[in-house]
Structure 1
């Protein structure tokens, strides 16, 4: 009897964890109807853009409002989390929901965005005109008239099982993914590859993407190329540009032929020799562009000097 009475007392004393008068729905409406800076600071986009995104996901049938959580609140949970790298517990307090509910709608929005991703994140078509940023700048044009963007990688912190820590530990010392992205001169993403271990180097990531070894496959349009840093410069992402500038160069054609033949070899010694040769190959291309740009600049200066005389 005493145990029974004690248990009943404990049940009576239990309090609801999320008992704020400002519910998740009310908080979302506060953001939407408040000052435009609120949504920009918290959700990282303007209010009209946020509402347009919610309407799109509704029209496509990717998200539906439930009894307790509207589509706007679902999207707000996701954007707040990724925009500020917030933890699930913080979102529980912010939106007054359980951790399970927060996780459920975070993943629902994530799947919806992945579904529409191909419509918004894509490599330009071959007939795409020269980017305005290049065409309108005499320093860059015509040297980079076929350049459609740049490629680089970054380390994004990740949570993985302890047994995988060694594979995901990057050269900077923390657990991360090596994420590769291609971005156009209009500041729009054209391709993103995530999921590679932090220990994977940039060359490995790009090679797998170009050869369609995994779930990612990036096709570089014929006659176009991307700018890359030294971590990528010796790979085929710029081979279109190389062959275009030197179509009759036997040495370059032979180099390209051997690269295609040896691209899938896994022998470490052969790969090391190939990487060194490819790096020299890319440096030569860089020097050609630099020389052309220097000569053009010298000609402009000479012309200006003659006009002043």
Structure 2
């Protein structure tokens, strides 16, 4: 209880370091769960402790055995409440998760170096390989360019480094294009921003005219011309 009271009653700086949120949002979150009957106190675990364990795991990614030493709860209990809080937050995602803006971010709009090329970008898409533990019979399909078994995970982020979409589960040997195509065909998959269409995804080639070395104004004009051409095709453009 002394440890929990320290977490609950610390200052905002300590709260952010431990839970990635200030005390006021933490208590508001707990109050929401309690008032709606989504979480209830058990004999040995309060709602505050359940939420604290969840936030601590999400923030620092410790093993359940480490959380066991901190909160003096069994790994089974920790796993149970982690999944329970995770499911509840998923149900409240429409209220708790702010949709990404479709406006050009200020950090692009206000910098000439980026704006001509990325003036209509609202985020970025990339893939990463995450270690996966699979049976021996399935290990071949999960082993791609890495020497270990992995999942090929697609993630979309906005320019504030917030995830807007994540698709996991594909084998490490899966091609990035196949994963992207799958995400676009799912009913709850990746949504292309308004103004884009599948017909816009085609390959067009642009040739580079001779530009005299040292002529900065000519290069600026050429870069603006490339940016306009790339936006017109909105696809896999080759310059």
**Matches of 1:162 and 1:79 in 2, distance apart?**
34
Cα distance in 1, alignment partners of residues 221 and 35 from structure 2:
52
TM-score (norm 1): 0.58
Aligned to 2:161: 187
Deviation at 1:91, TM superposition (A): 1.8
> Residue in 1 aligned with 2:79?
103
CA RMSD of aligned residues (A): 3.2
Match of 1:307 in 2: none
From the superposition, tell whether residues 48 and 167 of structure 1 become closer, same or farther in structure 2 (CA, over 3 Å): farther
What is the CA-CA distance between 1:192 and the residue it aligns to? 1.7
Q: Give the number of aligned pairs.
A: 213
Q: Which runs of 5+ in 2 are unaligned?
A: 209-217, 225-239
> What secondary structure does 1:51 align onto?
helix
Superimposed CA distance per residue, residues 18-43 of structure 1 (whole angstroms, 9 cap, x where no aligned partner): xxxxx4xx423211212434333333
Larger radius of gyration: 1
Q: CA deviation at 1:220?
A: 0.5
2:195 to 206, 223, 228: 223
The correspondence for 2:57, drawn from 65, 81, 84, is: 81
Structure 1 residues 176 and 223, CA, compared in 2 at 3 Å: closer, same or farther? same
CA drift of 1:98 comes to 1.7
Shift in CA distance, 298/131, structure 1 to aligned 2, threshold 3 Å: closer
1:298, distance to aligned residue in structure 2 (A): 7.7
Structure-1 separation of matches of 2:35 and 2:128: 34
2:220 counterpart (295, 306, 309): 295
Deviation at 1:151, TM superposition (A): 0.8
Question: Distance in 2 between the 1:49 and 1:156 partners?
Answer: 31
2:104 to 130, 133, 137: 130
Which of the numbers 124, 148, 153 marks the counterpart of 1:174?
148
SS of 2:168 mapped into structure 1: strand
Query: Residues 185 and 54 (structure 1 numbering): CA distance in 2 closer, same or farther, change over 3 Å?
Result: same
Q: Tell me if structure 2 keeps the 8 A contact 1:153–1:181.
A: yes
| Cα shift readout 1:142-175 (whole Å, capped 9, x = no counterpart) | 5423211111122233344444333333522233
Preserved contact between residue 11 and residue 23 of structure 2 (Cα < 8 Å): no
Q: What does 1:47-126 align with in structure 2 at a 5 Å threshold?
A: 47-119=23-95, 120=97, 122=99, 124=101
Structure 1: gaps spanning 5 or more residues: 1-22, 225-235, 244-255, 257-277, 288-292, 300-309
Distance 1:97 1:81 in 2: 14
1:136-155 map, 5 Å: 136-155=110-129
CA distance in 1, matches of 2:53, 2:43: 16
Greater percentage in helix: 1
1:90–1:147: structure 2 CA closer, same or farther, 3 Å change rule? same
Query: Partners of 1:51 and 1:294 in 2: how far apart?
Result: 56
Instruction: Quote the offset at 1:121 in angstroms.
Output: 6.2
Shift of 1:204: 1.9
Structure 1 residue 187: Cα displacement: 2.8
